[in-house]
Structure 1
Amino acid sequence: MVEKRWTYQIPPETQEEKERVEELAQAINLNPFLTTLLWQRNIRSFDDAKAFFRPQLNQLHDPFLMKDMDRAVERLSHALKAGEKILVYGDYDVDGTTSVALFYGFLRTFYPSLEFYIPDRYKEGYGVQQPGIDYALANGFTLIVTLDCGIKSVDLINSAREQGLDFIICDHHRPGDQLPDAVAVLDPKREDCQYPFKELTGCGVGFKLLQAYCQYEEISQEPLLEYLDLVAVSIAADIVPIVGENRILAYYGLKQLNAAPRMGLKTLIRAAGMKPPLDITNVVFGLSPRINAAGRIKHAYDAVNLLLCEDEAEAEDFARIINVHNTDRREFDTRITQEALEMIEGNDWLRSAKTTVLFKNDWNKGVVGIVASRCIERYYRPTIILTESNEKAAGSARSVPGFDVYEAIEACSDLLEQFGGHMYAAGLTLKVENVPLFQQRFEEVVARKIRSEDLTPQIDIDMKLPLTTISDKFFSILSQMGPFGPQNMTPVFVAEQVYVYGTPRILKEKHLKMDVRQQGGGVFPCIGFGLAHFYEPLLEGKPFDLCYQIEMNEFQGRRNLQLHIKDIKFRTA
């Protein structure tokens, strides 16, 4: 096993910082450990703490601060009043399908001349494609609203505009050098956009457009807020920072998801065997893969139809279909991951490279992103998995913390037909014959830019926390710091000089279960998933440093605190 780097957050260092933390601790009546956690999350005053612990919807930014929002709302309002046919066009992943369900679902409550369109992952590929434009032209649509896509589809949109189709683009991916010739391009990542929060999901941008429409028409936003469960699912699935507006939207979206989710999500939660209350992690690992599976295995229409369902029996049918898709997806994922790892292990150059770029023409396009993530678990480095689609090599890239894979792909853009994405995840298409050259160039670009520490798995640790500090009250306050996710991660602690209490056990041949204690403290149960390799060294009884998170374990109606082990380092002396 590769030894992980433990990287500690910088605590308050100067005398002034320490005094301000003490002032904050007194103002909000918290112990120094919890107050330091808040300080490290840029909570510096009573008002900051109040806004953090009690997010309010009125803290959301004015949607009209987004570039082109006024033009987007005027065009949408005109189309609705004139009875134009509107096509809501979204991507086939979770962010895209939730965006379509939100936008189409809200408008259809008062406007009938409306349809939605999701491109086929295999026949059309990502983003705005010619078949969708042809469909719109053939069926009399005059306005297309794109969600979670469109920012890079410059030529197609410009051509469609000449044929009388107007576009409102709602996207959150990085734009290229040129923007599409649309009526409005809503994307906080536009260089000329002054919108204060840059990390909205595609669904979030769609929500802001509808929020602006409600303001423009002076109608109540209450019906729109019922769609925040979809926004929360998009935030979880797209792994965006859960700070600023995303934290407010996720906070209220999770409330909606747990108290009164829409019928489709309710049946999917049930079909997945999940029990509320759900948090971001539950959504990431329980709901997102199932919603995604529709577009990966068959067609994302199944996912949108489920999310729009109002009839329980119909929703249960869609949930069953999606669960079957998810089972198929898991089988593809397992087989292709095994093949990919064997390709790396059987090639000296690939084993020692700073990147992984693999191509096999019969891999399922729907799971290549998942396979890339799985490969990173074994070979910790930027990874691209490609397969053949429409006579081209197409696939997904995933990165490691600290390295911008989108930028590295952009440096190879002369070899590509199409690409787009974020710092840590991207999609790309190229000619099959260019794959070997791309593999070489990508390796050269990454090897030149990546730091050696980026190639070692890292655990970000908030602070050293003695086990004696942990109590039900401590955990209760800690829980209120959620929803947790990127840039507001579940706190990770280290307890030093810890001993095993009793004998550790191995569960299912790979998980570690044990009780631990520190000098002068009580005993805490621990679980370490995939950490059975620590079993033998633990039997020696030596003290160790424990890297952990605190969680509440529920079993047979009983609740007790337990430590979720992230890593163990044994003391040499």
Structure 2
Amino acid sequence: MRWTIKPKPHQAKIKELSQALQVDENIAILLLQRGIETFEQARQFFRPSLSDLHDPYLMKDMDKAVTRIEAAIASNENILIFGDYDVDGTTAVSLVSSYLKSYYPHIDTYIPDRYDEGYGISYKGIDYADDNGISLIIALDCGIKSIDHVAYAKAKNIDFIICDHHRPGDILPDATAVLDPKRTDCSYPYDELCGCGVGFKLIQALGQNRNQTIDDLIPYLDLVATAIAADIVPMTGENRILAKFGLEVINSAPRPGIKAMVQNLKKKVLTITDVVFIIAPRINAAGRIKHGNYAVELLSEFDLEQATAFASQIEIFNADRKDLDKQITQEALLQIEENAEEAKFTTVVYQEDWHKGVIGIVASRLIETHYRPTIVFTKSGDKLAASARSVKDFDIYNALEASAEHLEQFGGHMYAAGMTLKEENYSAFKDKFEEVVRETINPDLLTPEISADLEMELNGIDPKFFRILKQFEPFGPQNMTPVFLSRQVYDTGYGKTLGKDEEHLRLFVKQGDGDGFAAIGFGLAPKKMLTGNQKTFDIVYSVDENEWNNTISLQLKLRDIKENHE
């Protein structure tokens, strides 16, 4: 692990913000690092309000989208809500369809089959619309590059409204409206919404048109928060507001589908981390193993008994997904070891029988072991399909763009992408991708980094400090859980390994003569040798709570331990 410490803001700024907010200087540093420099910015950060959401009509083409939907409703047209098969797409379809169905009956939904149709708008989906007398398709979380598909639909007198958040190409589809805050000609104030977030702005605009207030839309925010968490978009601005209020809905009045997924959990209050690791994988499992329709049915169901039956099905898909992901990861690791004769800047693996639904998860797993930009290929029809994942601070989308001569199609973000290519182009692509990454990546990025927000003394941690830290939630990209570095700590002699395979480490650490803290390090048992015999060592950690025998105490969640050389 490579330890880095974020730059410390200017001392005068620290002092000024600390005094303005009446908080500890360490809290002021954490806020400044997150771009919060004034009392008003801090108020918005600590007290997010739905009234701080932007006017949806600031988004380019929003007026056109609303006008077209209202015209469709006025003339009794059939409307199809089309979305991708992942969490962002299925939540977006559930959101927009259930909102429109609350006052208009002629609404249908369509999720493409991952294996038969692939990602994004499909000709099969357009043919389905044509066969069913549908004259308007609202595409969510996809479509920004679907120029040919939109033209195909237009020839059949089917209009499109695109709601996407992926980067557009040079040419936009010829749709009635293209809602995408990443459009270069769109001046919407926040461009990091997920697909479901763009869908929410659409229903917000439709609601305003019908004299609804934002309070009328709160019941839909559990879906938006789930998509924000799953799609790993920045936890800033509007996303943070929507996630915060969406989490409140998940914990107080979730829709039956979400309630059915979490009703057997022991946890009383779910965090954004629980959404990422408990709710999102189950929703995703439907599209990975069977079909994304199962997720839409679950999330749109208003009868708890029926939702519980859907959730049980999805639980089975998720168990199958876990087994597949484990098996394929082992096979991929073996393949990497067998080809380890030369040091590489990338990991690219392929096996024709790997399950297409889990290759994205496998790519993420491989990065945990071999920290490289990673692509996992499988056979899909007469082509190869792949999922790509990147390491911190490296833009894999740009690397794919530079290797695009060998690809049929690709799309995605800085850290995750998908692509297809002809089998005969696999070797050439693999070589080109390796060459591009080798020439453009800073070699330091190939060592995993732990970035500490600041170095501090353990005596700076107390209940008041932790109470303020809790108000930094919900955490996510660009607002991650604060990580601290403390030097020359020692274990008081209670250090021991825990877990079924003794893989975890529990310590009781002190610094000088100060108070001690229980500390837990998951997977850090091999570092125990650095902590014995009252030796001093350095730690990076976050601050957490531990509940034991109905007593809550602060504990340190260790990220790494290093020998102290001072």
TM-score by length of 2: 0.98
1:362 Cα deviation after fit: 0.3
Match of 1:124 in 2: 117
Of residues 276, 296, 300, the one that matches 2:292 is 300
Three-state SS of the structure 1 residue aligned to 2:495 is: strand
Matched, 1:358 2:356: no
Matched, 1:464 2:461: no
Match of 1:284 in 2: 276
Match of 1:69 in 2: 62
Match of 1:238 in 2: 231
Between the aligned partners of 2:110 and 2:432, the Cα distance in structure 1 is: 36
Between the aligned partners of 1:384 and 1:177, the Cα distance in structure 2 is: 26
Residue identity in the other structure for 2:302:
E
Of residues 45, 53, 66, the one that matches 2:46 is 53
Between the aligned partners of 2:478 and 2:214, the Cα distance in structure 1 is: 29
1:410 Cα deviation after fit: 1.1
Between the aligned partners of 1:274 and 1:262, the Cα distance in structure 2 is: 19
Task: Verify the 8 A CA contact 1:498 1:518 in the aligned structure 2.
Answer: yes
Between the aligned partners of 1:313 and 1:529, the Cα distance in structure 2 is: 38
Q: Deviations over 1:457-506 (max 9, x none)?
A: 10111101211111111111100011111000100001111001123211
Three-state SS of the structure 2 residue aligned to 1:384 is: strand
Matched, 1:7 2:9: no
Q: Give 1:453-492 correspondences, 5 Å limit.
A: 453-492=444-483
Match of 2:174 in 1: 181
Bigger shift: 150-159 or 132-141?
150-159
Matched, 1:441 2:432: yes
Q: Deviations over 1:18-42 (max 9, x none)?
A: 2332222122111111111111112
Three-state SS of the structure 1 residue aligned to 2:317 is: helix
1:555 to 1:264, Cα distance in 2 relative to 1, 3 A = farther
Between the aligned partners of 2:480 and 2:151, the Cα distance in structure 1 is: 41
Q: Deviations over 1:143-185 (max 9, x none)?
A: 0000001112111111111110100000001112221111011
Between the aligned partners of 1:109 and 1:556, the Cα distance in structure 2 is: 47
Matched, 1:36 2:29: yes
1:354 Cα deviation after fit: 0.2
Residue identity in the other structure for 2:218:
L
1:216 Cα deviation after fit: 2.5
Task: Verify the 8 A CA contact 1:296 1:367 in the aligned structure 2.
Answer: yes
Task: Verify the 8 A CA contact 2:168 2:183 in the aligned structure 1.
Answer: yes
Task: Verify the 8 A CA contact 2:493 2:532 in the aligned structure 1.
Answer: no
1:333 Cα deviation after fit: 0.5
Between the aligned partners of 1:460 and 1:258, the Cα distance in structure 2 is: 31
Task: Verify the 8 A CA contact 1:503 1:539 in the aligned structure 2.
Answer: no
Task: Verify the 8 A CA contact 2:490 2:534 in the aligned structure 1.
Answer: yes
Match of 1:144 in 2: 137
Q: Give 1:501-512 correspondences, 5 Å limit.
A: 501-508=492-499, 509-512=502-505
1:541 Cα deviation after fit: 3.3
Please, which runs of 5 or more residues in structure 2 have no aligned partner? none
Between the aligned partners of 1:79 and 1:134, the Cα distance in structure 2 is: 19
Between the aligned partners of 2:225 and 2:266, the Cα distance in structure 1 is: 17
**Sequence identity (%):** 54
Q: Give 1:378-457 correspondences, 5 Å limit.
A: 378-457=369-448
How many residues in Structure 1 have an aligned counterpart in Structure 2?
564
Match of 2:200 in 1: 207
Three-state SS of the structure 1 residue aligned to 2:42 is: helix
Three-state SS of the structure 1 residue aligned to 2:226 is: helix
Between the aligned partners of 1:540 and 1:324, the Cα distance in structure 2 is: 49
Matched, 1:332 2:329: no
Between the aligned partners of 1:124 and 1:559, the Cα distance in structure 2 is: 51
Between the aligned partners of 2:547 and 2:346, the Cα distance in structure 1 is: 41
1:274 Cα deviation after fit: 5.1
Task: Verify the 8 A CA contact 1:274 1:286 in the aligned structure 2.
Answer: no
Between the aligned partners of 1:505 and 1:395, the Cα distance in structure 2 is: 43
Residue identity in the other structure for 1:527:
I
Residue identity in the other structure for 1:234:
A
Between the aligned partners of 2:520 and 2:91, the Cα distance in structure 1 is: 34
Task: Verify the 8 A CA contact 2:493 2:534 in the aligned structure 1.
Answer: no
Task: Verify the 8 A CA contact 2:234 2:479 in the aligned structure 1.
Answer: yes
1:219 Cα deviation after fit: 3.1
Match of 2:520 in 1: 527
Q: Deviations over 1:498-549 (max 9, x none)?
A: 0011232112221111111111211211111111110223224320111000
Between the aligned partners of 1:111 and 1:432, the Cα distance in structure 2 is: 47
Residue identity in the other structure for 1:519:
G
Task: Verify the 8 A CA contact 1:494 1:547 in the aligned structure 2.
Answer: yes
1:366 Cα deviation after fit: 0.6
Between the aligned partners of 1:401 and 1:176, the Cα distance in structure 2 is: 24
Between the aligned partners of 1:516 and 1:221, the Cα distance in structure 2 is: 48
TM-score by length of 1: 0.97
Bigger shift: 332-341 or 211-220?
211-220
Task: Verify the 8 A CA contact 2:194 2:227 in the aligned structure 1.
Answer: yes
Between the aligned partners of 2:437 and 2:64, the Cα distance in structure 1 is: 41
Residue identity in the other structure for 1:430:
L
Task: Verify the 8 A CA contact 1:264 1:307 in the aligned structure 2.
Answer: yes
Residue identity in the other structure for 1:175:
P
Q: Deviations over 1:35-86 (max 9, x none)?
A: 1111111211111111110011111111111111111111011111211100
Match of 1:369 in 2: 360
Between the aligned partners of 1:368 and 1:536, the Cα distance in structure 2 is: 37
1:301 Cα deviation after fit: 1.1
1:19 to 1:537, Cα distance in 2 relative to 1, 3 A = closer
Task: Verify the 8 A CA contact 2:192 2:233 in the aligned structure 1.
Answer: yes
Q: Deviations over 1:226-274 (max 9, x none)?
A: 1011100000000000001111111111111111111111110124x25
Between the aligned partners of 1:132 and 1:556, the Cα distance in structure 2 is: 55
